[in-house]
Structure 1
């Protein structure tokens, strides 16, 4: 037992981006600027939805929760990323690493479910317009949002518990820009079957099921739009869904590239780049898509800031 305790690892070495040489300050500045812009853009969406009566609708309420997910997600990752750039890689405790992974999983799960909720809102608005007011009441909105966040905390907690039971005694180097589940499993000296099983079981209800639900709702939405007699009506109906579709494609495309496609030994730098895109650029991209493609939000910005 004493020997086991002596070999137990209490901290990992995160390599980050490695030695950036003369580009350290440039990369640090660019990431910091994008991070601050993403925080401000998502915070602006939340404030606008809260103070603008014309935005008090289910679609914008879900959008504000999506922005909250982005703020929590990027705030958990980017400070570590910036610190690693300055120090050229540094130590992080095992407990902190696993905790960071937990608080990455919570908004990720919640975001998948919120995207499905937003597609359901569009489905009711286009395919069941006469029942929209009775279905999408504020009580139902709160119930949906509360369920999304609750499931995010619950599903993430199961994986966190199994990760906390892992034993680390060998190499402690993580060649990544933040703590992620794949490097942790590779460094574990104990069996990782429970973590892998929990992750595989949860993948269907929190990732695949929402995606399949989104696909099914949009098939119905497209069918309904095609039966609209006027070209203007079809264009108006589809324009209310286009921003959501762009975000769904971007989010699931990046997510599948990082976690679903098996990594290769020569794709470490590519995986780091995708992780930066997923944790830094996507949180800025989402509010910009809705702001630039939505006249209601543009009008709210002009009214409140002008």
Structure 2
């Protein structure tokens, strides 16, 4: 990859076009040209053309297209890594040169669903507090539907929640993409059993989220059960991920949880992974804020910092422990 690095350096030196690099960063982070277009407020053809211009300039194919999906090539992964480093350095330089940081005061009210498990998010909060020590941050945990209602009523700065159907007045950026899978707990009769099939689970009772119903934020889980023909009852439910996890462990029934959340539970033999092996569905946690709301300096700094963080780290990186 030494030659590729030289090509990228020459591209930056000869024709510095941050728009092409930033567009490529967003494509990689969203893993979709159409989602990248929506995030950048551009048309899909404009994003595709920017990608082609970057590929033509570097003389490398950066993405292998497979219908609506794609995989980055080795060159694409390297360009993404280089561009992320460059963008990160530029963001830090901007912060270092901004002598107004210590003067910014104010309050931020952030609404969040329970259990945001992301090392990148934790590091962002630490860096934000270091940069803006006089800003007060209040985080309240609530259901996604209540988060959206509060934002529309202009009572909060931003929210981290589930929003499957875009809301006209809200800005929406995918912050985490969580893969849900089926699990049972140590006290369940299926715990420790290998070679199970999905058909052997159809009559099992379920532990569920209160938002796991048609039309609500976790309705993909409801649709999965209906399509596969599950007949078991929902015997326990909670809006809290930690409580759902506790009830699954206690053997009330099988249930769906984000894969990255339960890594330690699997290692400690508290939970047991059930089929299908590939998991069920991806569920996004979005950063949301009211487009028309006038932000104070602290709130705007927070949103700008979150957007820079999302531009620097791809979706899979945001789930990795740090």
* TM-score, scaled to structure 1: 0.25
Higher relative contact order, structure no. (Cα contacts within 8 Å, ≥ 6 residues apart):
1
- Structure with more of its chain in helix, by fraction: 1
* TM-score, scaled to structure 2: 0.24
- Structure with more of its chain in strand, by fraction: 2
